[in-house]
Structure 1
Amino acid sequence: MQLKRVLTLRTVVATSAGLTLASSSFVAAVQVANYLLGDTAWIAILAGGALCFLAAACFSELNGLLPTAAGIRLYFSRAFNEQVSLIISILYMLVVIIGVVGAESYVISAVLNEAFPAVPSYAWIVFMLALVTLMNLRGIKIAGVFQDIITYGLLTSMVLFGLIALVRVNFQLDAPLAPGGLTGVISAVAVGVFLFVGFEWVTPLAEEVTQIRQISRGMMIAIGLLSVAYAVFTVAMTAAVPKEALAGSAAPQVLFARTVMGGAGAAWMTLISLAATITTFNAGMISVSRFMYASAREHVLPAVFSRVSMRFFTPWVAIVTLFFIGLAVAAVILLTGRYIVLVELAAAMESLVYALAGLAVISLRRRMPEQPRPYLIRGGYTVPVLTVLVFAVLAAAVLVASGWVLVNLAAAFLACLIYVNTAVPYLKKKHSARRTGARRRPGRPAGEAGGD
């Protein structure tokens, strides 16, 4: 049974923006501002968004060429080889699941502990994961509508709150083009890029959109909306509250809201943070479950993950599995508090994948020159080459700056390598044996039937 084509451009934009727009984004936005002088954070944020447009263009061409829920697994398989694609795609999936759920669980717990100290942090995580799991089990249309409402409401609230704060502090843009030294600008842009990572996880929805070009348009629109929302909100935060105070808070957005509007503002911002986490969980559940479904369909993961609900047309085994994985990851991170390593790990992995996407565009143009491309990047190889260079440098910067990230990524890579070289051949051999048996069974003499 296949997935159902019901998603429109509106939901594609909401899903692309929703996985990116998380509670942990507010912490990253403060980091961007701290690298720069004055109120120039918007420069780094818009520059980061512009760089992500490069990667989005590469993913758009790849998705148009190979529209599939398997996403990068198929892109890299055709561009490089099967083993590289399997290792990178499985590693990518693991890092996204662990990084997103872990970081979000920790940050939203800090926000909710302040608002509701009597309620255990883990109870909130269980509630949110259960909510998005139930919606996803009921169908992509229900999960999509929920994603639309929350994501667009969240973006509107961020811009509106930022504008209110700017008016209340009588904000005036002072020295807008004087961000400081080159080192600070480069660091700020690097963190600014990471505000947008995850937008490409909408590509696994290629088999559920009504028109394939909606994927590329959705990614571009999402990055544009996020750029505006992040820029306005970050400038407003640093205009209303000293950067040192924001940097010292685990929930800087709540501190900002309380400073501007008192208790009512803090309550509003708590709701915004809660919505941001739910949209991230929901978008991640939508996208990663489809990726697992496609991987199982191609015998990279156990076949059970390819099961689709006959009633709701959803990959229900993958969805339920992600729920329990999310619970386990959240529990570990809440106990250890090691969420920063996860954020940096996800950032490094995303950058590596973006660089490989640029290489894949170059490779597939040479290997499949006659294949129709609904979306073709203009300017020849300029954009894919820039994408490779920019994101390779950013990935290297993260890995060099943090030894723990390098160690964890190496360990995860080794685990994926072992899986690809042992489990995947077994799964493919098992599937091949089943197909051979199915072909032989109808034509066998009746007397041999009892031998099975």
Structure 2
Amino acid sequence: MAEKVRRIKLKKVLGLAFGISIIVGSTIGAGILRTPGAIAALLPDKFLILSCWLLTGLYILLCASSYAELTTMMPKAGGAFNYIKRAFGNYAGFTTGWFDFILNIGAPSFFCIVLGEYTALFFPALKGYDKAVGIAYLTVFTLLNLPGIRSGSNAQKITSVLKVVLLLILVIGCFIAKPQHQVLSAPQVLVLNGALIIAFFKAMQLILTTYDGWMAVSFFAEEDESPGKNIPRSYFIGALTIIGLYLLINAAVLYVMPVSTIAQSPLAASAAAAIAFGSWGSMLINVMSVFIIISILNAYMMIPPRILFGLSRAGFFVKQAAQTNEGGTPYISLLVCYALTIIFIMFNTYEQLFALAAVMLTVVTAFSFASLLQLRRKKPELHRPYKAWGYPYVTILALSVTLVLFIGFSISDTRSFIIVAALFLLSYPLYRLVTRKVTE
């Protein structure tokens, strides 16, 4: 029976609808409801705030073009480390693959805790049992995804659509409502200095975290029934949907509230909903938050196991984690992620992982863009169903922006940079140890 399980492959049953829903579902989280307040505290002008969101969105579009070529060229489970491994060798693939896993594995624990908090709002008797309720959510979604890819993909499509609809209701309500301030006020004169530049990078770091997930379709490329056609469309439709929603949400919040008020609101979207919908605003935000987090939790129950599956198949983790069941789920990898997430929930260790995510993401994406340049030069014969628009200029620009972001994030968040640097120094001895153990 064990031998039969090892021969089972990931199932090619996914299409364009799933590709768009996994990008939207894994990207749009509770952060967009909370982040506007933190951004307003850093940037004092609404046009500067919207420009920061737009510039980060345009950067994501540049990234998507290059990623679309890489993903369609090598439609393999696990995402970026496959391209990096092919371009720069096993050690680079090992390091970036584990970085990618680390920046993704902390997310489900955070979402489960937040779901526990929101559940207590609806059922006050559960107050104080946030972690237990979070583990219950984790268990439910693990069981949902365990039988096969179809159940998880259907849940993703449904919850992603509901999420978008609820967010559009919030946007429409805000624009219909009477604003608390004069909309056409005189623009504030800003002085460009070092403090404002650092604040802009900090804002971009926060915003980039809310965009994290735009490359989610790459983790499922091996399960797409027509990756050459579906994946580029998924990248661009998904990215444009997210950019449009983020700009609309921020514009709506800025329409009903002045920047100074937003800066003092930890839950700016909730405050905006209270203005737009009165006593129903709080209930709307709570319901919206639950659906948003359920959608993103389901996505992140699917992503880390596929990274671990890919790492295992490449010899960078124990070979048993590369097994799949009859439904096409890498079930051992899923159970490993389930166990890790419970540990993170119990000990709150996800908080530092969340802080590391933006810095690690720039490392992984920088190597990904470099791998595209390297593979075009080194492997021109590889089949490329889609070629990056504006190559090599757009790819070089995306790589350059990513490096600038890495430098900016390292200056504004030195703790995360030091941890990433330490992990990088440890990665080579770990690589030698893991690859030796796996091959024994």
**For this structure pair, what is the TM-score category when the shorter chain's length is used for normalisation?**
0.7 to 0.9
Match of 1:279?
Answer: 295
Cα offset for 1:101? 3.0
Contact 1:111 1:251 in 2 (8 A): no
Q: What is the CA deviation profile of residues 83-109 of structure 1, one whole-angstrom value per residue up to 9, with x for unaligned ones?
A: 1110111122012212x2354355555
Does 1:121 find its partner at 2:130? yes
How do 1:1-400 residues align onto structure 2 when only pairs under 5 Å count? 1-34=8-41, 35-38=43-46, 41-98=49-106, 100-105=107-112, 107-108=114-115, 111-112=118-119, 114=121, 116-119=123-126, 120-169=129-178, 174=184, 180=190, 182=192, 183=197, 187-213=202-228, 214-310=230-326, 312-333=327-348, 339=351, 341-400=352-411
Q: What is the CA deviation profile of residues 47-79 of structure 1, one whole-angstrom value per residue up to 9, with x for unaligned ones?
A: 211101111111111111111113222211111
Cα offset for 1:172? 8.1
Inter-partner Cα distance in structure 1 for 2:112 and 2:263:
19
Inter-partner Cα distance in structure 2 for 1:33 and 1:362:
37
Which one has a bigger Cα radius of gyration? Answer: 1
Inter-partner Cα distance in structure 2 for 1:179 and 1:349:
35
Aligned CA distance change for structure 1 residues 329 and 187 (closer, same or farther; 3 Å): closer
Match of 1:450?
Answer: none
> Secondary structure of the equivalent of 2:78?
coil
Inter-partner Cα distance in structure 1 for 2:91 and 2:48:
44
Inter-partner Cα distance in structure 2 for 1:295 and 1:179:
51
Cα offset for 1:208? 0.9
Task: Give the superposed CA RMSD.
Answer: 2.6
Q: Between the two proteins, what is the percent identity of the paired residues?
A: 21
Aligned CA distance change for structure 1 residues 172 and 164 (closer, same or farther; 3 Å): farther
Q: Which amino acid aligns with 1:145?
A: N
Cα offset for 1:174? 3.5
Q: Which amino acid aligns with 1:174?
A: L
Q: What is the CA deviation profile of residues 202-250 of structure 1, one whole-angstrom value per residue up to 9, with x for unaligned ones?
A: 2121111111131222121111111111111122223334545544454
Q: Which amino acid aligns with 2:209?
A: F
Cα offset for 1:359? 0.8
How many residue pairs end up in the alignment? 423
Cα offset for 1:420? 1.1
Q: Which amino acid aligns with 1:193?
A: L
Aligned CA distance change for structure 1 residues 266 and 97 (closer, same or farther; 3 Å): same
Cα offset for 1:4? 0.9
Inter-partner Cα distance in structure 2 for 1:295 and 1:165:
45
Aligned CA distance change for structure 1 residues 255 and 378 (closer, same or farther; 3 Å): closer
Match of 2:4?
Answer: none
Inter-partner Cα distance in structure 1 for 2:188 and 2:432:
53
Aligned CA distance change for structure 1 residues 130 and 247 (closer, same or farther; 3 Å): farther
Inter-partner Cα distance in structure 1 for 2:202 and 2:310:
37
Inter-partner Cα distance in structure 1 for 2:153 and 2:224:
11
Match of 1:433?
Answer: none
Inter-partner Cα distance in structure 2 for 1:235 and 1:361:
36
TM-score (normalised: structure 1): 0.86
Cα offset for 1:302? 0.8
Q: Which amino acid aligns with 2:255?
A: A
Q: What is the CA deviation profile of residues 289-335 of structure 1, one whole-angstrom value per residue up to 9, with x for unaligned ones?
A: 1221222222221122112112x2211111122122112112222xx
> Secondary structure of the equivalent of 1:118?
helix
Aligned CA distance change for structure 1 residues 275 and 412 (closer, same or farther; 3 Å): farther
Inter-partner Cα distance in structure 2 for 1:383 and 1:55:
9
- Structure 2: unaligned runs, 5 residues or longer: 1-7
Cα offset for 1:285? 1.8
Cα offset for 1:141? 1.3
Match of 1:434?
Answer: none
Structure 1 moving runs of 4+ over 6 Å: 175-179
Contact 1:39 1:239 in 2 (8 A): no
Contact 1:202 1:215 in 2 (8 A): yes
Find 2:420's aligned residue among 399, 405, 409.
409
Most deviating of 184-193 and 126-135: 184-193
